[in-house]
Amino acid sequence: MSTMNGPREWGRVLTACLTPFHPDGSVNESEFQKVVQHVLFDQSNDGIVVSGTTGESPTLTDAEKLRLLDLALEVAGSEKAIIFGAGTYNTAESIHLTREAEKRGAHGIMLVNPYYSRPGQAGLEAHFRTIAAETSLPVMLYNIQGRSAINLETETLRRLMDVPNIVAVKEASGSITQISDVCAVAPEGFRVYSGDDAMTLPALAVGSHGVVSVAGHIVGKEISEMVRCFAESPAQARQIHQSLIPTFKAIFKAPSPVPIKYALSRKGFDCERVRLPLVELNDQEKRELELALKPLSFAAAMA
């Protein structure tokens, strides 16, 4: 098993990596590796999530997801954490993907709330327990009511914290109260990650460990610095947070990951294309995004 077998080793700033496509809609493998290299090393992220929502996982085949994992592991080597998004609304399929990810050397798996199926809390708990029991990899749960139509309630999550290899949660409830409650009941060593870029600093203030970001594609260094400064210089962390808010707002003005793919494409990456049912930004949306991102250091690349 990998030595990166827990959230301490994953680090504090992870980015859910996008998936570039060729004009014919197939995965652009070489460009994906360039993006991974950029996010992990140029943008100073501690790791990435492959085949998450930002990677357009609902439109990827199982074979494509696992191939992306292989490609990401090639780039990362032993220096960075690669977490694999194995969660679907199908428990059996999630188990299959989890087993395959473990065989390939993933450093952990992420399991999203089973979207569309909308199970109750008992079903959610059984789903996560069943998958976790099929792997020795560390597991990060992903609570996002906005995309799954269900909330992983804190009491349910507290019970799941007793499962030895469920070691983290990406908390994207959008509620600082819920994040605070989760941090309050988390045992020592269990890591709470913000699942919302704009909530990263508030979440740190109530006890979270870090963030699973989208903006980390373009401002990973700044986010990492904010997280580092939180303990040493809270005023500086607040200043960085405030400076990043316009970026956070801009990259979520249209369905994600459409804006972040366009923003990164303006830095020279061939990654703008998305798979239906997502569509690319229209000209007006592009102009608005470029205006919002002009203060960033890579704005010159947009000229």
Active site residues: 142, 170
Query: 3-class DSSP state for residue 260?
Result: helix
CA–CA dist 182, 156 (Å, integer): 10
* Whole-number Cα distances in Å, 282 to 251, 262, 285, 287: 14, 11, 5, 9
Tell me how far apart the alpha carbons of residues 302 and 223 are, in angstroms, rounded to a whole number: 22
DSSP 266-298: TTT-S-----TT-----HHHHHHHHHHHTTSGG
Listed residue (227, 256, 186) closest to 19, CA to CA: 256
Tokens 């997502």 belong to 278
Residue found under tokens 């990654």: 271
DSSP assignment letter at 186: P
CB 205 within 8 A of CB 221: no
Place of tokens 């609902």: 58
C-alpha to C-alpha distance for 222 and 220, rounded to whole angstroms: 5
